[in-house]
């Protein structure tokens, strides 16, 4: 390609939490999501002797990310397709000068936390720096979106946008998409509870589509409620009205249950969080497994809810939005 390369580069992609309207966002209804203080870091360097078998032609991958049991194994074929799409989008042919990509960081791979988007963003950034392409964040986001197709088929674009830009984002899918960063008065503590169940987001999205086509009137009413709810949620977040935010999170979870993307494990974790003082709680991400998010303003409440989730036999991540 004639591209100038350097010896080693790194790139970062943030994990995410969807506070409102996963799945509904696929159909043009606004969603609210935020970056969390965990990230995936990709490192790119020349592949020297002993790199082993390539993951894709010319690219050797070492995936050292912490992960839910079975997550990386279940996603291996999707990951390979994702890497191929990223290289194709960036017009990079590593067969001419093989490279080694290392994935690490403190974001644990699990469903519902933006792990795939974080890895796509981190890899795109590290490759951009390695080949000195000089890409903007907007271009990195487009590449990460392309990589997400390997995992999700028809992704909404929300996860990669949050992973690339960070912060709290109002997002509407479309051409062009609407992406409005907005502020909350101060960061808010949350707890994410991991069911330990690896979910197939592609199957979850396809299931919603099939059920919506089979019963358009019922699903139409649910989708209208989701659109009204998210407008109220943004105002409540900007006003720092924790009580209102919590109630809206609870209602959003009920809507997600109605479109059949929750699961017994998710519902159990939501109940545990609420019973231990969470202001509101809901599933987050693709559903059918993965994570919940609980609103727990203040370190004391955050710790109480996190411990209750752990005592119930699940993993809890203490983090914050905003």
Residue pLDDT, tens place only, 167-222 = 899 999 888 888 898 888 888 999 999 998 887 888 898 999 999 999 999 999 99
pLDDT at 299 over 60: yes
Residue pLDDT, tens place only, 58-106 = 999 999 999 988 889 999 999 999 999 999 999 999 998 999 999 999 9
Nearest to 86 by CA among 46, 126, 47, 115: 126
pLDDT at 2 over 60: no
Boundaries of every domain in the chain: 9-182, 188-321
Mean pLDDT confidence for 216-244 = 96
| Confidence grade of residue 1 (pLDDT, cut at 50, 70, 90) | very low
Cis peptide before 176 (omega within 30 of 0): yes
**What CA–CA distance (Å, rounded) separates 10 from 126?**
5
Find out if CATH 3.40.50.300 is the number for domain 9-182: no
The residue annotated as part of the active site, out of 93, 106, 137, 159, is 159
Q: How do 9-20 and 31-46 pair as beta strands?
A: antiparallel
Angstrom CA distances, 68 to 14, 65, 115, 289, stand at 18, 10, 11, 12
Question: In sequence order, what DSSP letters do the residues of 241-299 get, joined into one string?
Answer: -HHHHHHHHHHHHHHHHHTT---HHHHHHHHHHHHTT-SEEEEESS-SSSEEEEE--SH
**What CA–CA distance (Å, rounded) separates 303 from 22?**
26
Among 102-116, 130-144, 150-164, 165-179, top mean pLDDT goes to 130-144
pLDDT at position 3:
56
**What CA–CA distance (Å, rounded) separates 122 from 141?**
10
Residue 3: strand pairing partners: none
Residue bearing the bigger pLDDT, 37 or 49:
37
Contact 113, 107 (CB under 8 A): yes
Find out if CATH 3.50.50.60 is the number for domain 188-321: no
pLDDT at 5 over 60: no
Question: In sequence order, what DSSP letters do the residues of 133-188 get, joined into one string?
Answer: ----HHHHHHHHHHHHHHHHSS--SHHHHHHHH-SEEEEE-SSS-EEEEE--SS-E
Active site residue 77: no
């Amino acid at each position: 390609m004639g591209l100038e390369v350097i010896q080693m580069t790194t790139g970062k992609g943030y994990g995410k939490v969807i506070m409102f309207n996963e799945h509904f966002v696929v159909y043009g209804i606004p969603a609210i999501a935020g970056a969390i203080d965990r990230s995936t870091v990709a490192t790119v360097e020349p592949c020297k002797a002993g790199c082993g078998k390539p993951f894709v032609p010319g690219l050797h991958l070492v995936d050292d990310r912490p992960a839910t049991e079975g997550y990386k194994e279940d996603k291996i074929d999707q990951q390979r397709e994702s890497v191929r799409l990223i290289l194709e989008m960036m017009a990079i042919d590593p067969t001419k000068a093989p490279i080694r990509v290392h994935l690490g960081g403190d974001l644990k791979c699990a469903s519902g936390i933006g792990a795939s988007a974080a890895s796509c963003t981190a890899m795109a950034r590290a490759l951009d720096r390695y080949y000195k392409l000089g890409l903007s964040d907007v271009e990195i986001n487009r590449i990460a979106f392309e990589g997400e197709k390997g995992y999700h088929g028809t992704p909404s674009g929300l996860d990669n946008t949050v992973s690339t830009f960070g912060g709290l984002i109002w997002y509407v899918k479309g051409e062009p998409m609407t992406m409005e960063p907005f502020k909350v008065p101060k960061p808010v503590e949350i707890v994410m509870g991991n069911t330990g169940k690896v979910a197939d987001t592609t199957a979850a999205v396809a299931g919603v589509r099939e059920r919506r086509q089979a019963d358009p009137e019922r699903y139409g009413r649910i989708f209208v409620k989701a659109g009204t709810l998210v407008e109220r949620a943004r105002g409540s977040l900007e006003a720092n009205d924790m009580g209102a935010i919590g109630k809206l999170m609870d209602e959003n979870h009920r809507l997600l249950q109605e479109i059949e993307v929750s699961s017994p494990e998710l519902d159990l974790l939501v109940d545990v969080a609420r019973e231990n003082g969470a202001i509101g709680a809901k599933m987050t991400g693709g559903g059918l497994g993965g994570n919940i998010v609980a609103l727990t303003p203040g370190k004391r409440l955050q710790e109480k809810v996190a411990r209750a989730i752990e005592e119930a036999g699940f993993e809890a991540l203490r983090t914050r939005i905003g």
